[in-house]
Amino acid sequence: MGFTELFLDFMPGYNKFRAVTIVLVVAELCIPLLGVFFLHKLYTAKEEIQKNLKPFLIVSGAVVFVMLVFLAMPSAVSNFLSDGEREVIATADPAQVGVYEEFFGELEKVRISIFRKDVGRSLIFLILAIGVIYAYTKNAFKANIAVGVLGVLILTDLILVDSRYLNTEASGKNYKQWIEGYKQKYPYVAGDGEKTILAFELEKNPALFIKLDSATNAVKAIPGYGELEAGEKQRLNDWSTYRTLNRYTNFRVYENGNPFNSSYTSYFNKSIGGYHGAKLGRYQELIEFHLDKRNPAVLDMLNMRYKIQPVGNNEGKIVNSSFLGENPTAMGNAWLAKEIQTVQTADEEILALNSGNLYSVNSFGSHKLLINGELDSAANVIESDTVELIYVMGIDSAGNMMSDTVPVQIPYQAVTADMPLAFILGPQGANWDYVVNVDSTEMPLVGVKSEGRAGWDPNKTTIVHQEFKANISQDSYSGNGTIEMTSYHPDHLIYNFSSAEKQLVVFSEIYYPIGWKALVDSKEVSISRVNYVLRAIEVEGGDHKIELVYEVPSMKSSAALAWAGSVLLLVLIAFGIFMDSKVKDEVVEE
């Protein structure tokens, strides 16, 4: 009892990560299983154990001795500071070493205290359990009493441990909840960002009003709706509204900040980001190469139409969102390709997607620019380039030039906030979108002007790996025609296609070779991977119905096998119970 907590206390710091697997497999499975086997043996072969209690007493004494060693000398059996924490002390500023040693010393004492409390609790329960079993072997009481007492000990231990993680603060006769049930089920309230997106979509498609009204009426018809408190009604209505919006619209939203470790945007809208512990390798590479750099062309091909920014309170909880703008160049959920660019390797494929907003930068006076480490006075740059200003402050008494290097972040801010003399002073002059000025003289240092985009354009060029070239019969297509999604479901998407000529249709959906099928007028066709992560199919001229369907045959057979196994297990258990009762009846008759 309490072995899990002891084990985790015994493995502080990063070692706990390694310990988790051992804890789950050994402590949470094997130890209880061995305990069940022992109790079963104790119940069915009590007389045999009574004849030789020495093994039981030796094992019990050994475990008690080990626990006593843990209790008396915890530092002798474990380090209560991780290697990383010790490294912090070793590499600290010599003037601050004493502070670090004092802090981590107190942390070590706390961990030792927690460890000792767990050892002490476990030792008490261990001794009580040994006493109960020993008394039972000496016929002090019957088996049902022994089982009952052991059950009480186990339940008490579980309650003591669980009370650490569950709120036990009482309010009258009831316990206070960490969070109301409805807030757990519906964790967010729609913020300003979501409401603005909804307003944009309703303006584009007024027919959505009917769908949303129908969904709202369905919510209000739920039994007991009128008795709900206002907060719960709001969250329930928000959930219904944006669920309906997602069903009848097709766009994605980018969450500014940390989009790939957040569930906020995905709760309301289809998202570019969202969190998952096991991302597809290709999508993770797309994140690292392009999305982290806000590559506009890649965001376009992923159908990113809106940007929002979550707003948190002092406790770090998201309580609102702000709307950052609409992306007018989003490609939509599907489009018709034009030029085809074939590449030979995966490296060429992902690098071919390079794109960025283009800006011209120019330094003034004696100041110079460092652009990706190269000295220049003017150049065209994209957002992912490193731009720095060599700010000349004057000449010192020895005749040496005094200068400082100031980062210029294009286009979001011109200088860092810790430079007191430099700041952005609005758009100024017909030739510049904004300039960087010096407070004391009002003379410009750097001029920045938007020049559009540079690099790959998904509207013009589609990147195809050589592996899929056999599925694509032409090097270019006219791109004339229409492709429109008519029905959306995560595993069944339907489109209407119309064109007088053969076209290559690109879908803003992630390519995955297992399970996905493409059907043109119910006839299966090959799916190609394009633009590193997307799907594409070649379609002959005419009017066609296109379906993308996810269907894994093994899922049906696996489900059937699972059901069959469950039924077989129940039959075997029933048969075992029947045979056991039959054997007992025969023994009684004899």
Nearest to 334 by CA among 195, 483, 487, 132: 483
How high does pLDDT run on average in the chain? 83
Q: pLDDT-derived band of residue 238, with 50, 70 and 90 as boundaries?
A: very high
Asked if the structure places residue 572 within a domain, the reply is no
CA–CA dist 436, 442 (Å, integer): 9
CA–CA dist 475, 119 (Å, integer): 72
Residue 163 pLDDT: 78
Counting Cα atoms < 13 Å in the Cβ hemisphere of 568 gives 6
102: CB partners within 8 A, 6+ apart: none
Average pLDDT of span 37-61: 84
Residue type (1 letter), 227: E
Tokens representing residue 311 in the block:
């707003």
Asked if the structure places residue 344 within a domain, the reply is no
Asked if the structure places residue 301 within a domain, the reply is yes
**Residue at which a domain ends, from 127, 143, 170:** 170
Asked if the structure places residue 560 within a domain, the reply is no
Asked if the structure places residue 573 within a domain, the reply is no
Q: Mark whether 413 and 471 lie in a shared domain.
A: no
Domain count, the chain: 4
Long-range contact pairs involving 509-513 (C-beta distance under 8 Å, separation at least 24)? 509/333, 509/534, 509/535, 509/548, 510/280, 510/282, 510/283, 510/534, 510/535, 511/282, 511/535, 512/280
Residue 589 pLDDT: 56
The answer to whether 217 and 254 are in contact (CB under 8 A) is: no
Q: Mark whether 25 and 127 lie in a shared domain.
A: yes
**Residue at which a domain ends, from 400, 425, 455:** 455
pLDDT digits (tens, 9 = 90+) for 115-166: 899 899 989 999 999 999 888 888 888 888 888 888 899 889 888 887 777 7
Q: Mark whether 320 and 402 lie in a shared domain.
A: no
**Residue at which a domain ends, from 332, 367, 386:** 332
Asked if the structure places residue 509 within a domain, the reply is yes
Asked if the structure places residue 205 within a domain, the reply is yes
Q: Mark whether 93 and 74 lie in a shared domain.
A: yes
Nearest to 294 by CA among 252, 254, 253: 254
pLDDT digits (tens, 9 = 90+) for 492-551: 999 999 999 999 999 999 999 989 999 999 999 999 999 999 999 999 999 999 999 998
pLDDT digits (tens, 9 = 90+) for 75-106: 887 788 888 788 888 887 777 788 888 888 88
Nearest to 195 by CA among 145, 155, 237: 237
CATH number at residue 513: 2.60.40
Range of the domain at 418: 355-455
Q: Mark whether 77 and 139 lie in a shared domain.
A: yes
Q: Mark whether 34 and 163 lie in a shared domain.
A: yes
Q: Mark whether 200 and 286 lie in a shared domain.
A: yes
Q: Mark whether 215 and 299 lie in a shared domain.
A: yes
Q: Mark whether 297 and 416 lie in a shared domain.
A: no
Average pLDDT of span 340-345: 96
Q: Mark whether 484 and 421 lie in a shared domain.
A: no
Q: pLDDT-derived band of residue 174, with 50, 70 and 90 as boundaries?
A: low
The answer to whether 374 and 359 are in contact (CB under 8 A) is: no
Q: Mark whether 281 and 387 lie in a shared domain.
A: no
Nearest to 258 by CA among 278, 270, 274: 274
CA–CA dist 86, 353 (Å, integer): 44
Evaluate if residue 414 carries a pLDDT over 60: no
Asked if the structure places residue 42 within a domain, the reply is yes
pLDDT digits (tens, 9 = 90+) for 475-507: 999 999 999 999 988 899 999 999 999 999 999
Q: Mark whether 163 and 243 lie in a shared domain.
A: no
